[in-house]
Amino acid sequence: MRRVLIGTAAAGVLLTSLLTATSATAAEATSTPTDAGSSQLQLHCVADVDTGLTACADDDTTIAEARIAVAGTSSGLALRSPVHVATIYAGFLGQGGSLEIQAGADCTVSKTNIDWTLGNVGSAMNDETSSFQVYGNCRVAVYDAAYCPSGSARYPSTGYAGTTNYVGDAMNDRTTCVRGS
Ligand SMILES: [Ca+2]
């Protein structure tokens, strides 16, 4: 009997602490959005490097619908079938807000040429990136300045990198442009 009472009390304490922790996390997320992985809205978005369009999933739009939306063009050209070439994340891989990048084709074998450039990651992810995952035979470099100008701070400092779980203190939360090779 006594053990049951102790167990019940312990469970009550645990539940209370979980609720407290949840409340504290929610409060922190809305008041300190600047750290890696704590982007205020944690939006999941898609950008297409060829159409220049970006869309985000929300209450009315699934990520699948966003992919289709950015693949078309406002001039009414036929929908394409783009491929997923990279995803940047506000937190470590798979965490926080994200931006999935689509291009017209996989990256080429050469890992020194430029296959695609996403000139501006958009307001939801600007200066938020902490990590990136590559797909479609691509390697990636992230740049501080829009349109990836030479001389801009970048990661890696030269060349291109495969999937990276942290872009380093120097480039954390600074990425505006993403380039694939
Ligand atoms: Ca930047």
Q: How many CB atoms lie within 10 A of CB 53?
A: 18
Instruction: Indicate the residue type of 145.
Output: A
Taking only the tens place, the pLDDT of each residue in 10-63 is 333 333 333 333 333 433 333 333 454 444 568 999 999 998 999 999 999 999
Q: Could you tell me the distance, in angstroms and rounded to a whole number, from the CA of residue 126 to the centre of ligand 1?
A: 6
Cα 45 to Cα 53: distance, rounded to the nearest angstrom: 11
Q: Could you tell me the distance, in angstroms and rounded to a whole number, from the CA of residue 150 to the centre of ligand 1?
A: 14
The pTM score is 0.76
Taking only the tens place, the pLDDT of each residue in 31-43 is 333 454 444 568 9
Q: Could you tell me the distance, in angstroms and rounded to a whole number, from the CA of residue 140 to the centre of ligand 1?
A: 16
Q: Which domain holds residue 131?
A: 2-21+37-180
**154 within domain boundaries:** yes
Q: Could you tell me the distance, in angstroms and rounded to a whole number, from the CA of residue 112 to the centre of ligand 1?
A: 23
Q: Could you tell me the distance, in angstroms and rounded to a whole number, from the CA of residue 178 to the centre of ligand 1?
A: 10
CB contact set of 20 (below 8 Å; sequence gap of 6+): none
CATH code where residue 150 lies: 2.60.20.10
Q: Could you tell me the distance, in angstroms and rounded to a whole number, from the CA of residue 15 to the centre of ligand 1?
A: 42
Q: Could you tell me the distance, in angstroms and rounded to a whole number, from the CA of residue 17 to the centre of ligand 1?
A: 38
- The domain total for the chain is 1
* Token pair belonging to 174: 């600074």
